[in-house]
Structure 1
Amino acid sequence: MTELDLQEYSHSLLLEVQADAEAEGTTTPEAFTRRVLEDLEQAGVVANTFTAYHKTHGHEVHGYGVSDSGDTLDLFITDFHLNPLDSKLGKADTETRFRRLLTFVRRCGEGFGQEVGESFDAYDMCAAVGKSLTEVNRIRLFLLSNRVGTWTDVSANELDGIPVTHEVWDLARLHRHATSGVLGEPIVVSFDPPLPCVSAPSNEPDHSVVLAVIPGRVLAELYAEYDTRLLELNVRSFLQVRGGVNKGIRQTALEHPGKFLAYNNGITATASQVEFLKDADGQPTHISRVHGIQVVNGGQTTASLHYVMFRDRKDLSQVSVQMKLTEVSPDQLTEIVPKISRYSNTQNRVTLVDFSSNHEYHVRFQQITRSLWAPAKDGSGKETHWFYERARGQYTDGLANARTPAQQRRFRDLNPTSQKFSKSDLAKYVHSWHQLPYWVSRGAQKNFNEFMARIDEAQPRVDVLYCQRVIAMAILFKAVDRIAASHGAGSHKSMVTTYTVARLTLATEKRVDLDRIWREQAVSTTLEDAIDDLCPRVMHVVTHPRDGAHVGEWAKKAACWDAVSRVRWAVPPTLEAELLDHPLDEVVAADDEASSAARGEVTLVSPEEWYAIERWAKETRNLEPWQRQLAYSVGRKLELGQGVPDTQVAQALHVRNEAHRLGFRLAS
């Protein structure tokens, strides 16, 4: 990385943050914080993050997050400068900011949240942090900065017996993260003592395989330290201990730890480099160090052992796990690792999210949008592109390839940063339109996983019209986002926005004219006025949770959508006059052949099985209420010889697949 590279990245980052801040109606520090947290969520470094700024004497905070397992509390503080290269982020500044962040955590534990009024953005954050301190096993403090840090080695400490670690994400580290071509920094693990192994002879030049047995305690500790980063290439989220596989893993570890090796399938891992101890003949005998380790199959085993060790607080000294470790050449990662993950998986279905950049859907979407000219707006007469980042860093690469200042200006003119969007953004726009706001509210990574699962179940026909309408969804989403900001949605804006879009499409039956939005590259004044009327009604429901939950958790629940869907609001006559006569039904629907196949698959499932799924879900509470109702509704339609609506086909198949994944079995 040269100084020129860093200067170009810094300038590009600053322009993008300023564009985001302007588009979202927020401050540049908040836009920077959100951008970095979205990147870190996609990388699996953090999860379930929320931005909320609070500063008073002695403390300062810009956001927080809690890991999926509930074991880790993350706090974030931001250092953002409009002239970031004029000064360095030094040792004293770094330590001061971490000290202020830790003071905030300590005060939350002492009941500081009671001093913050419910009307403030920080209220939910203080309540969530205070509650988490009674449950977590570690605290991570993050300093996010667009300056270059000169002091990144901050020693760990404790807070009331809870280990506290520090991470500095400065300009240089953010640049490495954006341009490395991978989602996170490689995990390097040393084994002490080294793991005995058996090497499998191979003539393949691009990979080699060794077999080993890894102590269960070591595997659980790896997950405790690296969380979902260890499973980036596995991409299957830990399903807690609800599914049958996880329950079995946990039960074996608790009741028969010495038999775990015999009963469990073990894990499949990959690495970019493996260091061995060798015998006199040069044959590997022990694994001493592994670079870039990833668990590509066996994520459930890994996370379940972590649960047993840290939640059940059970000793794993008798638990051993078999491991197949494949050393893969870095230039072959994207080709070989997905196949290893796919072919080795014999438990729950794997969706290859982190390698989804090469999914035909995303490849086709990029191909079309790169040559798709958006109509000129505001009378400028200048057509532009909506730049779709199929893979991380494509926009930065495109800007870097424009060597001269004039070429870079032209690139930005044709590809405005306000029109750049990623895979997770696309999933957010589409799911909001399709009334799945509770998935959007679960975070970029989880929402994208669900999006890809639905894409795989009902493959869309990605053509010019499809891309234009998805971009129109993006324009609609951004318009709602600006309006939500004007109503003081604050740190809850992302949730208010997705729920408002969903409530709008529900009320209008998806008859909003996306083709007109595309042609005009904006929503009409009439539509904007209607959104302005609807948004505060939705915001009131989203920001006033039931049962005392905080807003972030409430918004993740289907019950929140049920409440929002009941908000009293009628489409104004002026907007009704602009709506289409029929719904733009299933903009992301499968093509005719795929739709026909999906309908056929639904009808092959007996009504008895749909009814059984509904009863099982009610007994186990493994599915959402609307999913149980859908299963019953489909079974009833089939029993009466009626057709299942196209709008329900893909969702019904998804519900059935989800039920089977979580342990449902039809009694013979």
Structure 2
Amino acid sequence: MTEDLVAFRSGLISAAHEEASIEGSEANADHFAAIVGRLLEEAGIVENLSRLPFDGMIGSARARMSLGALDEDGETLILMSALLCEPDSKLGLPQIREAAERCLRFYTEATRDGLRRAECVAPEVQEFGKQIENTAQQISLVRVIVVTDAEIPAAVLQERQIEGTIIRFEIFDLKRLIRVLGEGASREDIEVDLTNELGAPLPCLKIPSSTGEYDTYLAAVPGELLSRIYAKFGTRLLELNVRAFLGVRGKKTANAGLRDTLLRSPDRFLAFNNGIVATVDDISLCTNENGVAVGSLKGLQIVNGGQTTASLFRAKRKERADISHVMVPTKIIHVKGNATALDEMVRSISRSANTQNTVQPADFSANDPFHWDVERLANNSWSPDGRTRWFYERARGTYGVAEDNAELSAATKRLFKVETPKERRFTKTDLARYVSAWEGRPFEVARGGQKNFQLFMQRLKQSPIEIDEPWFQRLIATAILYRTTERIVRQAGFPAYRALISAYTVALIGQLTGGRMDFGLIWKQQSLSEGFEALVATWAAEVDRLVRETAGNRMPTEWAKKEECWASLCAQMPAPPAALPPELMHQGGRSPEHGSAKPAVPLTSADYLLIQKTMELDAGTLLRISEEGKQSGLLHWKVAAICQTVATYAAGGWNRRPSAKQCRVVIDAVEKVRAAAD
């Protein structure tokens, strides 16, 4: 095992031990799987995994699983298991196959009777089994993922089908993990052997650029091939794209038109469709009697035409469309410069070529100006101690690149790790999770990192954020609250649903405070007080209870994705403690999505009860109180105006929150008008 692999393995094992120590348990394969699962989610390889450890007999057979997820459409099921080995040991294909088959057995047994024959099944695992049983007819793909801390030989387990459902096995040993989670972009792991896929190289027309900075290849790609590639790599193909799939709702949408063509006139798709534009890091060419042909592609990214690609996949999988005669016009661009040249080319292509659905500037992800500004602020904003700072990973892998650049000498390497510790690194999906939960959108956070990020970017497009250093400090304060909540939830040892408990707890605290707290104090301390941590622990337990109770017969992970779940929890929100933690005794500043700070205002527990009471009122009630009070002379016009202002907050779904001062005025006005009416 190379030094790099030894160091990489050591980091993963250490993280697993840390995870276990927080929970007060011994590290095992499930902790390792949880660490790797989170990293694979960051890389966009998996989505929305839940910890669902199971290792036991189902009937006469043994099944083993660590993590699982079922996508929103109920079409793709992910099951993950882990194998831990002694250092420097190697696994053989038989051991990998046995682990994969035991993981798959969870699915096959669940489809039969929802695991009712299994012994000692935790309630959340039993619920997951019932969910699989209920959606078995919809599931078209099962991804069985085995992760290990060892090296394995080139092991490939062949795909197969069970009653029409594709079973795909994915093996991640240390070599593959370091490749997809290490320094570079995950696109480098996307290689397509066209000769193998099509039986022959893909004919194309090569068009060199006049400057020599890139080459362009024009081709017609079979729709079946694009659908298979998307099925294998998913949204990782669209890493450089400005959006993910936009859906097919509505008769006039471009995606609905794609669907109709695929279902009714698939042979005319080449004539009707604008095609796709792709970039590659490397391209393998060959020549034959017909001219130039493409043998293979490395680092494939679809930068324009993601809707076309996803529509092909969905039409084949969901609507059983025959796409065997579909051909897609394709432009393949091989940029010869460095990563910066590729990024610039992608931005230009995305801005000029995407005409099927209007693209706004905020549709871009890593290249969006917002993310560049956050990165700049992170680089230039030092913590109050003057020694450390937070690292915003605008593009995945940039922390590793910065770390490598600092390793020119032992001194600079130590300095980088002191100034920018890895635990202060956060990503685009982290940022979206922190802000969305604090804004009162935990149901969006519960839908997974990638989906929540898309929704966050859509809101950013509609309501751009003006960011500055105070805004960044409030963002970091929110991040500290969220991360501390995650730690407390792990320490509490909740058997499942830890991610959604964390999101809903932070959201409820945001609801309690009206979206305000003493951000400056948290920024200054870079931590929460003991009193605030105690409040988080108490409320997390309440969230766990309320989510389970309000879910009824539904699976809590699915229930938590609905806005109705959030409304139910808001209606039963715990009361604020009599003794407030210092962070809640003064509301200094505003939430991360807003602008300049306001002076801190002293608050009491009663103030927070007024905020809760005010936010239980709807816009219609507030407007009626304002109008009746103004006409009767009971309310001063300034008081009536405050009621109208708060009514607009209510109409907007409380995206903006009332201050304690506003709430005191509103509740007093409501009581006056209602008393006069009685």
Q: TM-score range by the shorter chain?
A: 0.7 to 0.9
Identify the residue that residue 99 of structure 1 maps to in structure 2: 101
2:579 to 563, 574, 578: 574
Residues 1:545 and 1:579: Cα distance change in structure 2 (over 3 Å):
closer
> Whole-Å Cα distance in 2 between the matches of residues 577 and 47 of structure 1?
37
Greater length-normalized contact order (CA 8 Å, ≥ 6 residues apart): 1
Q: Is the aligned partner of 1:293 residue 2:306?
A: no
Q: Is the 8 A contact 2:279 2:302 kept in 1?
A: yes
Residues 1:73 and 1:591: Cα distance change in structure 2 (over 3 Å):
same
Identify the residue that residue 166 of structure 2 maps to in structure 1: 163
Q: Is the 8 A contact 1:234 1:352 kept in 2?
A: no
Once the two structures are superposed, residues 536-588 of structure 1 have per-residue CA deviations (whole angstroms, 9 ceiling, x without a partner) of 22222323454743222222222221222212422223128753565743422
Q: Is the 8 A contact 1:458 1:590 kept in 2?
A: no
- The count of aligned residue pairs is 605
What is the CA-CA distance between 1:647 and the residue it aligns to? 6.8
1:218 to 202, 225, 230: 225
> Whole-Å Cα distance in 2 between the matches of residues 648 and 422 of structure 1?
31
Identify the residue that residue 144 of structure 1 maps to in structure 2: 147
Residues 1:462 and 1:20: Cα distance change in structure 2 (over 3 Å):
farther
Q: Is the aligned partner of 1:307 residue 2:314?
A: yes
> Whole-Å Cα distance in 2 between the matches of residues 389 and 201 of structure 1?
35
Once the two structures are superposed, residues 168-225 of structure 1 have per-residue CA deviations (whole angstroms, 9 ceiling, x without a partner) of 1111111112334212412314144554434445313122223332233332233233
Q: Is the aligned partner of 1:344 residue 2:344?
A: no
Deviates more, 1:333-342 or 1:30-39: 30-39
Identify the residue that residue 9 of structure 2 maps to in structure 1: 10
> Whole-Å Cα distance in 2 between the matches of residues 219 and 62 of structure 1?
31
Once the two structures are superposed, residues 593-621 of structure 1 have per-residue CA deviations (whole angstroms, 9 ceiling, x without a partner) of xxxxxxxxxxxxxxxxxxxxxxxxxxxxx
Q: Is the 8 A contact 2:75 2:141 kept in 1?
A: yes
Deviates more, 1:118-127 or 1:24-33: 24-33
Q: Is the 8 A contact 1:459 1:591 kept in 2?
A: no
Q: Is the 8 A contact 1:220 1:302 kept in 2?
A: yes
Q: Is the 8 A contact 1:48 1:443 kept in 2?
A: yes
Which structure 2 residues correspond to residues 513-524 of structure 1 after superposition, within 5 A?
Answer: 513-524=518-529
Q: Is the 8 A contact 2:276 2:305 kept in 1?
A: yes
Which residue identity is paired with 1:89?
A: L
> Whole-Å Cα distance in 1 between the matches of residues 499 and 271 of structure 2?
47
Once the two structures are superposed, residues 12-69 of structure 1 have per-residue CA deviations (whole angstroms, 9 ceiling, x without a partner) of 4444444455567776544543343233334332233222111114221011233565
1:202 to 200, 209, 212: 209
Once the two structures are superposed, residues 513-552 of structure 1 have per-residue CA deviations (whole angstroms, 9 ceiling, x without a partner) of 1211222222223323332332222222323454743222
Identify the residue that residue 63 of structure 2 maps to in structure 1: 59
> Whole-Å Cα distance in 2 between the matches of residues 27 and 470 of structure 1?
34
Identify the residue that residue 509 of structure 1 maps to in structure 2: 514
What is the CA-CA distance between 1:253 and the residue it aligns to? 1.8
Q: Is the aligned partner of 1:232 residue 2:263?
A: no
Which structure 2 residues correspond to residues 356-395 of structure 1 after superposition, within 5 A?
Answer: 356-375=365-384, 383-395=387-399
TM-score, length basis structure 2: 0.78
Which residue identity is paired with 1:46?
A: V
Which residue identity is paired with 1:443?
A: G
What is the CA-CA distance between 1:336 and the residue it aligns to? 1.0
> Whole-Å Cα distance in 1 between the matches of residues 540 and 98 of structure 2?
40
1:472 to 477, 481, 489: 477
> Whole-Å Cα distance in 2 between the matches of residues 168 and 568 of structure 1?
44
> Whole-Å Cα distance in 2 between the matches of residues 26 and 239 of structure 1?
43
> Whole-Å Cα distance in 2 between the matches of residues 142 and 330 of structure 1?
35
2:83 to 75, 79, 83: 79
Q: Is the 8 A contact 1:224 1:306 kept in 2?
A: yes
Q: Over the residues paired in the alignment, what is the CA RMSD in angstroms?
A: 3.9
Residues 1:576 and 1:417: Cα distance change in structure 2 (over 3 Å):
closer
What is the CA-CA distance between 1:646 and the residue it aligns to? 9.4
Which residue identity is paired with 2:503?
A: T
Identify the residue that residue 108 of structure 1 maps to in structure 2: 110
Residues 1:646 and 1:337: Cα distance change in structure 2 (over 3 Å):
farther
Q: Is the 8 A contact 1:266 1:298 kept in 2?
A: yes
Q: Is the 8 A contact 2:361 2:461 kept in 1?
A: no
Residues 1:204 and 1:541: Cα distance change in structure 2 (over 3 Å):
farther
> Whole-Å Cα distance in 1 between the matches of residues 361 and 123 of structure 2?
39
Residues 1:116 and 1:56: Cα distance change in structure 2 (over 3 Å):
closer
What is the CA-CA distance between 1:652 and the residue it aligns to? 11
Which residue identity is paired with 1:262?
A: A
Identify the residue that residue 553 of structure 1 maps to in structure 2: 558
Which residue identity is paired with 1:113?
A: L
Which residue identity is paired with 1:449?
A: Q
Residues 1:389 and 1:12: Cα distance change in structure 2 (over 3 Å):
farther
Residues 1:442 and 1:329: Cα distance change in structure 2 (over 3 Å):
farther
What is the CA-CA distance between 1:495 and the residue it aligns to? 0.2
> Whole-Å Cα distance in 2 between the matches of residues 583 and 630 of structure 1?
27
What is the CA-CA distance between 1:487 and the residue it aligns to? 4.3
Q: Is the aligned partner of 1:183 residue 2:186?
A: yes
> Whole-Å Cα distance in 1 between the matches of residues 512 and 227 of structure 2?
48
> Whole-Å Cα distance in 1 between the matches of residues 283 and 327 of structure 2?
21
Instruction: Indicate the percent of aligned positions where both proteins have the same amino acid.
Output: 31
Residues 1:578 and 1:477: Cα distance change in structure 2 (over 3 Å):
closer
> Whole-Å Cα distance in 2 between the matches of residues 582 and 425 of structure 1?
24
What is the CA-CA distance between 1:498 and the residue it aligns to? 0.4
Residues 1:455 and 1:21: Cα distance change in structure 2 (over 3 Å):
farther
Q: Is the 8 A contact 1:235 1:351 kept in 2?
A: no
Identify the residue that residue 443 of structure 2 maps to in structure 1: 438
2:569 to 545, 564, 567: 564
Q: SS of 1:251's equivalent? A: helix
Deviates more, 1:517-526 or 1:270-279: 270-279
